[in-house]
Amino acid sequence: MQRLKWGLIFGVFILSGCQKDDSHSSVLGAWNCQEYTEINGNRTYSVNIERNHNMPNATNEFAIRNFYRLGDGDENLVYFRQVNDTLLVMPVQTTSVGVSVNGGTGIVRGGYNHIEWQYTVTATFGQDKCQANYY
């Protein structure tokens, strides 16, 4: 009986540890980013999506911290608009540190379980075509 009890406790622990984190109910929050770029190859890092503080009354305007692994500072923020439940649009923009985003699009999948991005970045190193998956 004691073995069965511990087996059940262990089984519940294992199953709960394997469940997917479905904590996103919008684009806001901390995300893991798995990015592939022509220049940098594959890399994984964290990003944070927050409201665009320059447009406090706009509920569909957002900013990404640590986009393209540029860092968390305000000078590196990259902005985008949520057009509808699934489409995100990143306009052409240049960060304060001179990195240009030549526009991009994102598709929200699985009820905010992940976002698939495509964008192009230009800086002193040249032009870098990128695909990223936020999860």
Domains and their CATH numbers in the chain: 26-134 (2.40.128)
pTM of structure: 0.81
Cβ atoms 121, 130 nearer than 8 A: yes
DSSP string, 34-91: EEEETTTEEEEEEEEEEE-TTSTT-TTEEEEETGGG--SSGGG-EEEEE-SSSEEEEE
The mean predicted confidence, pLDDT, of the chain is 87
* pLDDT tens-digit readout, 47-59: 999 999 999 999 9
In 3D space, the residue among 94, 52, 47, 50 whose CA is nearest the CA of residue 72 turns out to be: 47
Low-confidence ranges of the chain (pLDDT < 70): 1-23
CA dist., res. 115 & res. 87, Å (int): 9
